[in-house]
Structure 1
Amino acid sequence: MEIIEHEINKIKPFIDSILANLDTETDIKVSESELVNASNTVLYLNDMGDKSKILYFYYKTTITEYTKKIVKTELLQLRGLELLKKVILRWQKHIMLIYYLHRIFIELDRSFVDKSNLPKLCLAGISIFRSEVYDEMKVNIKDALFEQINIDLYGGHMDVNTITKVLIFLIQLKCKNFTIERNKFKTFILMHEKHDLDLYCNEFESTFLDKIKDFYSSKSTEWILSMTYLEYFNVVNKALEKEKYRSQVYLYPCTKDPLIKIVINELIIKNDKIKIEDILKHNKHDELNLIFSILKTHEFSLDSITNKFSNYVENCGDLIVNDQMLHDDAIEFTRRLLSFNTEIEIIIKNYPLFRRSKEIGFQKFMSKYPYSAQYIASYCDYEMKKGLKGVTEQESELRLNSLINLIVCCYDKDVFFRYYTTFLAKRLLNETSLNDEAEQYMISKLKVECGHGIVSKISNMYQDKVLSGQIMKEFKTLLHKGQPNGILLNIQVLRSGCWPKQIQEPFNLPNELKNCFYKFQMFYQDKYEGRTLNILPFYGNCEISIIFCNKPFTCIVNTYQASIILWFNSADTLTLCQIREYTRLNAFTFNPRQKLFIKQSLGKTITENDTICLNFEFNCSSLKVNFLPKKAIKTEVPNKEDDKTVENERKYILESLIVKIAKWRKQIKHEELVSEVIRHATNFKPQLPMIKVQIENLIIREFLVRDENEYIYNP
Structure 2
Amino acid sequence: MAELKKNPEELLPGCLQMLRDMFERSILTSNSYQHIRMVVQMFHMQKELDNEDFPPMGSGRSMRIFRVIRDYIREFVRKKAEELIAIESDDERLTGYKDFWTDYQWKSRCANSICSYLNNHWVLRYLEHYRVIRQENLFQNEDQVHYMYTLCMVIWKEEMLANQTLNIVESAKNLLRCERDGEKIETVKIAKLVESFVEVGIEYERVFDNSRLYQTRLDYREVDEFGLTTEQREMLKTYEDLFETPILEDTRAYYRIEAKQASIDGDIIKYMRMANERWEQEAERSKRCLHNAITGYRIQKEVDAAWVEEQLPFFQVRLELKASSKRMTRLPFQSHFNALLKAERRSDLLLMFKLCLRVDVAIEQLRKDFCEYVALKGREAISGIPVCNQNDPKSYVEAVLKVRDHYESMVEESFGNDCGFVKFFFEGCVAFVNRNCITEKNKKHSSHKSCELLGRYVDLALKKGGEDSDTFLEKVIVVFHHLEDKDIFQKYFNRFLARRLIMEQSGSDDLEINVISRLKALCGHEYTSTAQKMFHDIEVSRQLTAGFKEVST
For 1:312 and 1:444, how far apart are their aligned partners in 2?
Answer: 34
Contact 1:67 1:132 in 2 (8 A): yes
Q: Deviation at 1:344? A: 1.9
Task: Find 1:355's aligned residue among 412, 422, 425.
Answer: 422
Which has the larger strand fraction? 1
CA contact (8 A) 2:338 2:373 kept: yes
- Structure 1 regions of 5+ residues with no counterpart? 180-190, 482-715
- CA–CA separation in structure 1 for the residues paired with 2:124 and 2:46: 14
Within a 5 Å distance, the mapping from 1:175-214 to structure 2 comes to 175=202, 176-177=204-205, 194-195=232-233, 196-214=235-253
Shift of 1:10: 0.6
Take 2:544 and 2:193, find their aligned partners in 1: how far apart are those partners?
91
Measured against aligned partners, the alpha-carbon deviations of 1:449-491 in whole angstroms (never above 9, x if no partner) come to 444553344334333333332232222222x24xxxxxxxxxx
- 2:479 partner amino acid: L
Partner residue in 2 for 1:690? none
Match of 1:77 in 2: 86
Tell me how far apart the structure 1 counterparts of residues 545 and 27 of structure 2 sit (CA, whole Å): 107
Identify which of 55, 61, 69 aligns with 1:51: 61
Structure 1 residues 444 and 262, CA gap change in structure 2 (3 angstroms): farther
Map residues 464-543 of structure 1 onto 2, 5 A cutoff: 464-478=537-551, 480-481=552-553
* Deviation at residue 242 of structure 1 after TM alignment: 1.9
1:155 maps to which of 182, 187, 193:
182
Q: Give 3-state SS (helix, strand or coil) of 1:23's partner.
A: helix
Shift of 1:298: 9.6
Q: Distance in 1 between matches of 2:162 and 2:527?
A: 71
Deviations 1:560-590 (A, max 9, x none): xxxxxxxxxxxxxxxxxxxxxxxxxxxxxxx
Q: What RMSD in Å do the two structures reach over aligned CA positions? A: 4.1
8 Å CA contact 2:44, 2:62 repeated in 1: no
Name the SS for the 1:174 alignment partner: helix
What does 1:125-524 align with in structure 2 at a 5 Å threshold?
Answer: 125-137=152-164, 140-175=167-202, 176-177=204-205, 194-195=232-233, 196-220=235-259, 222-223=261-262, 232-252=271-291, 253-267=293-307, 270-274=311-315, 275-291=336-352, 303=364, 305-316=366-377, 331=393, 336-350=399-413, 351-353=416-418, 354-363=421-430, 371=445, 373-386=447-460, 393-394=467-468, 397-398=470-471, 400-434=473-507, 436=509, 438-478=511-551, 480-481=552-553
Q: Which amino acid aligns with 1:393?
A: E
Counterpart code for 2:158: S
- The residue aligned with 1:91 is 101
SS where residue 162 of structure 2 aligns? helix
1:62 aligns with 2:72: yes
Shift of 1:387: 6.1
Relative to structure 1, the CA distance from residue 296 to residue 458 in structure 2 (aligned partners, 3 Å threshold; closer, same or farther) is: farther
Distance in 2 between residues matched to 1:273 and 1:297, nearest whole Å: 17
Q: CA deviation at 1:62?
A: 2.6
CA distance in 2, matches of 1:210, 1:410: 50
- C-alpha separation in 2, matches of 1:456 and 1:359: 28
Tell me which amino acid in the other structure corresponds to 2:101: W
2:123 maps to 109
Per-residue deviation, 1:161: 0.3
User: Quick check: 2:356–2:362 contact (8 Å CA) kept in 1?
Assistant: yes
Query: Judging changes above 3 Å, is the alpha-carbon distance between structure 1 residues 311 and 136 closer, same or farther for their aligned structure 2 residues?
Result: same
TM-score (norm 1): 0.56
Q: How far apart, in 1, do the equivalents of 2:479 and 2:165 lie?
A: 63
Unaligned segments of structure 2, at least 5 residues: 50-58, 132-140, 208-228, 316-335
SS at match of 2:164: helix
CA distance in 2: counterparts of 1:473 and 1:384, whole angstroms: 29
- Is the contact made by 1:178 and 1:192 (CA closer than 8 Å) also made in structure 2? no
Please state whether the residue corresponding to 2:22 is helix, strand or coil: helix
What is the deviation of 1:163? 0.4
Give the partner amino acid of 2:417.
P
Q: Which amino acid aligns with 1:121?
A: Y
Alpha carbons of 1:95 and 1:260: their partners in 2 closer, same or farther (altered >3 Å)?
closer
- The amino acid across from 1:355 in the alignment is V
Instruction: Give % identity.
Output: 18
**Counterpart check, 1:11 vs 2:12:** yes
When Rg is computed on C-alpha atoms for both structures, the one with the higher figure is 1
Structure 1 residues 357, 17: closer, same or farther in 2, change over 3 A? Answer: same
How big is the shift at 1:116?
4.4
Partner of 1:693: none
Distance 1:308 1:250, change over 3 A: farther
Aligned length: 462
Q: 1:218 to 1:111 in 2, by over 3 A?
A: closer
Q: CA deviation at 1:261?
A: 3.4
Bigger fraction of residues in helix? 2
After superposition, residues 586-605 of structure 1 pair within 5 angstroms as: none
- C-alpha contact 1:385 1:432 (8 A) present in aligned 2: no
TM-score normalised over the length of structure 2 = 0.70
8 Å contact 1:334–1:375 — kept in the other structure? no
Secondary structure at the counterpart of residue 454 of structure 1: helix
In structure 2, what is the Cα distance between the partners aligned to 1:317 and 1:46?
Answer: 95
CA deviations on 1:62-106 (whole Å, 9 max, x unpaired) are 3233333x2233222124122223233333444344434433333
